[in-house]
Chain A
Amino acid sequence: MGMALAAIIMLFAAFTSALVVRKGLSFDWVSIPMPRVLWLNTGLLLVSSLTLELARGALGAHRREAFARWLYITTALGVAFIAGQLAAWRELAAQGVYLATNPSSSFFYLLTAAHGLHLLGGIGALLYLVVRARAIAWGEQRRVAVDVTALYWHFMDGLWIYILFLLMTRF
């Protein structure tokens, strides 16, 4: 999983360098207003990391009902985050800010879409755990699946904070 995260880091490093170069070299960059719903979305994602840790804690304590419940909540928070991101897009579109309006809007849509796609992968992994949460007797193999999913989810959390910082920084 560590190596997979390294590849994702390289992908976003490439987007970052493109943003820095594009912003630095041209005179047509106009920063777009950040949709306020992003703050709510950020909160949802941070809380989802917390609930996932609660799920892992419940698993460690062999409280399977609680484990399943926290997994449901984490997945729901992840879906809510995606919905919130779509709402942010709609808010921008309502203001006439589209993909090609300005390089800053291009990067906004690009980075949020790329992060969203990766997060959908994480939601897929959570759904896998949800489906098997009650049915399977928990062996070491399954714990690995939970640990790997948690690592990925927290990484997505950190990545979103980074993207938010990148989009808001006026350098």
Chain B
Amino acid sequence: MGLLLSILIRIHLIAPQAKIPLLELLSHTGAPGGVMSPEYYLSLLTMHGTIMVFFVLTTAPQSGFGNYFLPIQIGAEDMAFPRLNMLSFWVTLAGLVVLLAAFFIPDGPPISGWTAYPPLSAVGGASGPGEAVGQNLWIISIAIFCLASMLGALNFIATTLDLRARGLSLGRLPLTCWAWFITAILALLSFAVLLAAGALLLLDRVGGTSFFVPGGLIVSDKIIHHSGGSPLLWQHLFWFFGHPEVYIAILPGMGVTSHILSTFSRKPIFGYKAMVGAMATIGCLGFVVWGHHMFVSGMSPYSAFAFSVLTMAIAVPSAIKTFNWLGTIVGGKLRFPTAMLFALGFVSLFVTGGLSGIFLGQPPVDIYFHDTYFVLAHFHMIMGVAAIFGIFGGTYFWFPKMFGRMLNETLGKIHFWVTFVGVYAIFMPMHFLGLEGHPRRYSELSGFEFLKPLMGVHTFISHAAFVTGAIQLVFIFNLFWSMFKGKKAAENPWEATTLEWTVPSPPPHDNFAGRHPVVLRGAYEFSVPGAAKDYVMQDSPK
């Protein structure tokens, strides 16, 4: 759904008068005759961002893989609170249903973007289509999602701390478990703040309060009866959640990537403790850099300087991770199944997206880049596509364990290469659009002289997006075809070391069939001198 919306957005940008019959079915007013109105473009943009950030990037790597593999990797039968787990799942689904309901109400989804800045998001239907019921649905959906995420996070933390198998000290945990654990802490602490902000915003909208809406505001020729609220207050609260959210999306990908790189390099992970420390540091710093999203809000230069220095400091643990990934690969007996390719792709995208972050972390440079396509390119690279590569890597790596069959490697490699080249073709040119001062969120570009020369770049990006989107059908085909027709998977097809590879594929209902594994060694014992094979399982006595 999120991908489909981005394709619609890309079609509209290069052909604003294109008739898309599907859209007219969704909204007569938003897309009369199937032609997307500028307001409906913003609605789709809002839904794309919200679905991708909350219901894909936050949910899939943590709640999806984490709920499945955290218990197995730590030698437990299940998560600590299975009922809480189920509750978290259904509550998340309820949040998604409430969000998607916005498509089916007369004025459609809200137009305020996934960041829902007030006053636009706070003053009701007068401010535009979707800002009446649609915005209420958005806030309620996000509040429900916050509750679900916090319930899930509690479960992750309790499971990691209390259910580890005998012998599985924290220093022997796979890096995937560390990543899920740290992500859970970030989610627990940051979603609470977003929940508070959402409650205040909803009260401004339906309770007549003035937390975020300033006085004397005139919207659509009507005086808005609020007084003294601060739109910047929302920005502070939102980005206090919003920056940790970046790491909530990316940290599980870091864990999976570390795991896969070590496995297919046949080498222990380089600098295990430094990797754990770097993830924890990134998590901590994530809570003190929210102001770098607000450099243009008129903040004091001293505050901007402090936020900038703290933001730059994140480069240190990020570099530690990158060098350790390279250190893991160098000198290894490399194998290149699709999972490894996606892990390497993750490192590439993480570095590329991270480098543009250094520009945006500088207040004077950010003032120019703010609200341009440069920002779009940056965050799509680092928290969007890199995180999705982590999801793909995890899917290709763990599919044999989940379904007892192998994914087709030829289709997988086609999927990887087209996606890898495709995402660079989509997002690299956006940096140059940003350098030219191209603003975000403009639905029609033909009316601006300074944007006309850039239309060719947009055409290129859109076509790259169509190809990259289409290749995902190959992945989906591979997924379902391999589930039933794929080659049967052995218990440990990748010759990996962690506990999930000691149980049958797929695992029995209680993971270890009544057995209580005892862990005797670290998570990445590859190429151990004197060992019979080039890997030693975590529970192996030899």
Contacts and interface: CB of A to CB of B under 8 A. Distances in A.
Contacts of A25: 228, 230, 233
A25 B228 CA distance: 8
Interface string B229-243: 110010011001000
Given A11-B196, A21-B233, A106 B210 contact: yes
B117 to A, nearest CB: 16
B196 A26 contact: no
B268 to A, nearest CB: 31
Nearest to B187: A7
A6, A13, A14, A100: residue with the most chain B Cβ atoms closer than 10 Å: A14
Interface in A1-54: 3-4, 6-8, 10-15, 17-18, 21-22, 25-29
Contacts of B192: 7-8, 10-11, 14
A26 B188 contact: no
Contacts, number: 87
Contacts of A84: none
Interface string B22-62: 00000000000000000000000000000000000000000
Interface stretch (B70-78, B199-207, B441-449, B494-502): B199-207
Nearest to A19: B211
B334 interface: no
B326 interface: no
B158 to A, nearest CB: 8
B115 interface: no
B215 interface: yes
Contacts of B230: 21-22, 25-26
Nearest to B185: A3
Interface in B144-200: 150, 153-154, 157-158, 185, 188-193, 195-197, 199-200
Given A17-B236, A18-B233, A103 B193 contact: no
A83 interface: no
B303 interface: no
Nearest to B156: A3
A18 B229 contact: no
B227 interface: yes
B209 interface: yes
A151 interface: no
A103 B228 CA distance: 9
Contacts of A8: 192
A14 B210 contact: no
A94 B218 CA distance: 32
B210 A10 contact: no
Interface in A106-123: 106, 110, 114
Contact of A22 (B185, B199, B211): B211
A29 B211 CA distance: 11
Given A4-B154, A21-B236, A14 B197 contact: yes
A10 B230 CA distance: 21
Contact of A17 (B208, B228, B237): B237
B275 to A, nearest CB: 23
Given A18-B237, A103-B210, A103-B211, A7 B199 contact: no
Contacts of A21: 230, 233, 236
A99 B157 contact: no
Contacts of A18: 196-197, 200, 211, 233, 237
A6 B188 contact: yes
B157 A10 contact: no
A10 B193 contact: yes
B237 A22 contact: no
Interface residues of B, number: 32
Interface in B220-268: 227-230, 233, 236-237, 240
A8 B210 CA distance: 24
A7 B189 contact: yes
A103 B237 contact: no
Interface string A67-109: 0000000000000000000000000000000011001001000
Contacts of A13: 193
A123 B153 CA distance: 24
B84 to A, nearest CB: 11
A7 B233 contact: no
Nearest to B161: A3
B196 A103 contact: no
Nearest to A20: B233
Interface string B340-368: 00000000000000000000000000000
A62 to B, nearest CB: 28
A12 B192 CA distance: 9
Contacts of A100: 207-210
Contact of A3 (B154, B190, B237): B154
Contacts of B196: 11-12, 14-15, 18
B267 to A, nearest CB: 35
A79 to B, nearest CB: 24
A15 to B, nearest CB: 5
B192, B207, B229: residue with the most chain A Cβ atoms closer than 10 Å: B192
A28 B193 contact: no
B157, B210, B215: residue with the most chain A Cβ atoms closer than 10 Å: B210
Contacts of B215: 28
B447 to A, nearest CB: 37
Closest 9 CB pairs of A and B: A100-B208, A26-B228, A14-B196, A10-B192, A28-B228, A106-B209, A11-B192, A14-B193, A7-B192
Given A4-B154, A27-B228, 6 more contacts: A7-B150, A14-B196, A21-B233, A26-B227, A106-B203, A110-B203
16 contacts: A3-B188, A6-B188, A6-B189, A7-B189, A12-B196, A13-B193, A18-B211, A21-B230, A22-B228, A22-B230, A26-B229, A26-B230, A28-B210, A28-B228, A100-B209, A106-B207
